[in-house]
Structure 1
């Protein structure tokens, strides 16, 4: 009887773990759907007309596509540059805006100078290796963002000497996947052998 209960509990846990990714994905989809529904409801409440609501969203999507095209083509769009200049003059808000913008550029890959490289660094102690994003360089010093699992947007910032890091063949997406999956999705297993032993 005890073995049967143990086996049933084991099957139950395996079932729960198998469903967690599906549930989380569905929760994200429901969250996005709710936000879009709220937005549509707000626009419709003001207009009280389906045609007007469809027109507002059609124009909004076209405007965002056009702004994206101008940014890709010209490197910077004057409307965004004007908003940047206004926000840069507001204390505290300018710091928050600048940091958020750099983080988005880092994870989206639009900023060629930021986080195009993933390295391994010994952290929090010698012999423990972590994947880190290189966010900046000054001579022989690397500024690293060392993310924590399973949320790659939280972590630590460290300044280390170039000699203390080992370059990785992972790109940002692969490193983020490694961190989110807490090591389950790691396709650079061959790199583990190149890490020095204590």
Structure 2
């Protein structure tokens, strides 16, 4: 006849529970040094790159403008040292003065006379008119060019890309399309957003999202590492020139 097995004693279990937990293993000296190094890199890296790009832009603009400054008005003539930023200051003053002179009748008359002269030059005429139209469109204060951001299914089904909406397709481009309602889209490339593709796409295929162009550039330049924070607003699809909520989603 088999005897019932005796229950195991719980005293060893209670003893093990009463013991304090073993401390976590301390990190080695090399691991701490590596952590300190990467922490310093995260702090100094953005500052150094920003400082380098700022100096590069200052030197670039100074190199363009400084030769145009008369020696009598150049502070470097009296200081005998190179003063960074003189070209930028002179450019700001010169552009503001040019805008002031152009705002009156005499200035507009001179501008019209100069444009008539350029209009007689075959190659220069095309370049000037194209560049002028771009500047007028981009820098128009009440315009919306490249201020609206969207997502399109590009370059294939199931693959989505960020895009900048330049505006509605008009003129001869719109006349050549099968139906109205197309948009001019710029799809920037990563990590250099100054290059990309120009696409004419129907507005029903463009999903407008509520992020700024600056955030788009951050996403593209970081190759997706930096992402904009989620907002409570829902993505909105452009339909018939009016933004509205996605089908099936409440407004």
Separation in structure 2 between the aligned mates of residue 60 and residue 193 of structure 1, nearest angstrom: 42
SS in 2 for 1:149: coil
Distance 1:133 1:86, change over 3 A: farther
Separation in structure 1 between the aligned mates of residue 165 and residue 213 of structure 2, nearest angstrom: 10
Q: Which residue matches 2:149?
A: 118
Report the more deviating stretch, 61-70 or 143-152. Answer: 61-70
SS in 1 for 2:53: helix
Tell me which structure has the larger Cα radius of gyration. 2
Ranked by relative contact order (alpha carbons within 8 Å, sequence separation 6 or more), the top structure is: 1
Distance 1:150 1:93, change over 3 A: farther
Distance 1:140 1:17, change over 3 A: same
How far residue 121 of structure 1 moved from its aligned partner, in angstroms, is 0.5
Superposed CA deviations along residues 87-124 of structure 1, whole A, max 9, x for unmatched, are 45544444444554555556656471522321111111
Separation in structure 2 between the aligned mates of residue 165 and residue 133 of structure 1, nearest angstrom: 10
How far residue 155 of structure 1 moved from its aligned partner, in angstroms, is 0.7
| Residue segments in structure 2 that go unaligned for 5+ positions in a row | 1-27, 76-85, 170-179, 238-245, 247-251
Give the root-mean-square deviation of aligned CA atoms: 4.2
Separation in structure 2 between the aligned mates of residue 188 and residue 150 of structure 1, nearest angstrom: 22
Q: How does 1:38-187 map to 2 (within 5 A)?
A: 38=63, 42=67, 47=71, 49=72, 52-53=73-74, 61-68=92-99, 83=114, 86-87=117-118, 89-101=120-132, 104=135, 108=139, 110=141, 112-138=143-169, 139-183=180-224, 184-187=226-229
TM-score (norm: length of structure 1): 0.64
Distance 1:194 1:68, change over 3 A: same
Separation in structure 2 between the aligned mates of residue 191 and residue 173 of structure 1, nearest angstrom: 19
Aligned: 1:30 with 2:49: no
CA contact (8 A) 2:211 2:228 kept: no
CA contact (8 A) 1:118 1:169 kept: yes
Distance 1:81 1:109, change over 3 A: same
Q: How many residues align?
A: 187
TM-score (norm: length of structure 2): 0.53
Separation in structure 2 between the aligned mates of residue 177 and residue 137 of structure 1, nearest angstrom: 25
